[in-house]
Amino acid sequence: MQSMEFTKEALERSTKAVTMRPGVGQYTHKNSAIIENGTACLVQEKKFNMIVDVPSSIGGGGNGPTPGALVRSALTSCIAIGVKLWAARADIQIDFVDVQLEADVDARGEMGVDDDIAPGFLDTRLKISARSSAPADEVEAVIARSLKYSPLFDIFSNEQNIRLTLDIAEADQNFAEGNSGHA
């Protein structure tokens, strides 16, 4: 387990690096999701591999968490980690962070039953609980700052640009060079 001092020093080094050389902090994340048979999807990013699937109730194998579960987990974990990182930067000890998320959905949107219903989350509620000996207003300020700079809170809160490219091959043909999705 990293100490608050270790975390603060690492953040200070990283902040100094991207301040002095902005290009150091500009990069592209690459991720691929491959399905060959069934619905179990092998997701690869850097050295990490994950199996993502959907439940049998909608035709899947239930062999891993659903994409929605990963999205919700990504948001809550990003917020929880961000609170701890920003607390370390502010020299405020926060002993415990719990981020709870509730997301309302209407499956009619995802299933194409009703075009007037969004396929995604209709309403999302977050509750952040923290335990600290610091004054509550200082902890609240850390949480507010962490949300302001949270990449995933931003993605959920603001419209994003997505550019889509399709590469369709005949069943007996290979994909164009570099577009196979295999890392």
Mean pLDDT computed over 170-182: 63
Token reading at 60: 């899947």
Considering just the CA atoms, what is the radius of gyration of the chain in Å?
20
Q: Does residue 132 share a domain with residue 70? A: yes
Helices 67-89 and 4-20, axial angle in degrees (round to 10): 90
**116 lies in the same domain as 40:** no
151 and 78 within one domain? yes
pLDDT tens track for 65-118: 999 999 999 999 999 999 999 999 999 999 999 999 999 999 999 999 999 999
Tokens of 51: 């199996």
Q: What is the DSSP letter of 179?
A: -
Report helix, strand or coil for 43. strand
Same domain as 138, residue 71 = yes
Within a domain: 109:
yes
Shared domain check, 36 and 18: no
Whether 166 maps to a domain, the answer reads: no
Token reading at 63: 């062999």
The pLDDT value given to residue 177: 52
Smallest Cα–Cα separation from 146: which of 54, 59, 79, 91?
Answer: 79
Q: Is 111 a member of any domain? A: yes
Least confident of 39-43, 101-105, 133-137, 168-172: 168-172
Structural domain boundaries, residue 36 = 31-65
Give the predicted TM-score (pTM) of the model.
0.87
d(CA 104, CA 40): 25
Examine residue 74 and state whether it is found in any structural domain, yes or no: yes
Find where tokens 């990283």 sit: 14
Q: Are residues 52 and 102 in the same domain?
A: no
| Total of domains in the chain | 3
> What is the per-residue pLDDT across 15-62, written as a single tens digit (0 to 9) for each?
999 999 999 999 999 999 999 889 999 999 999 999 999 999 999 999
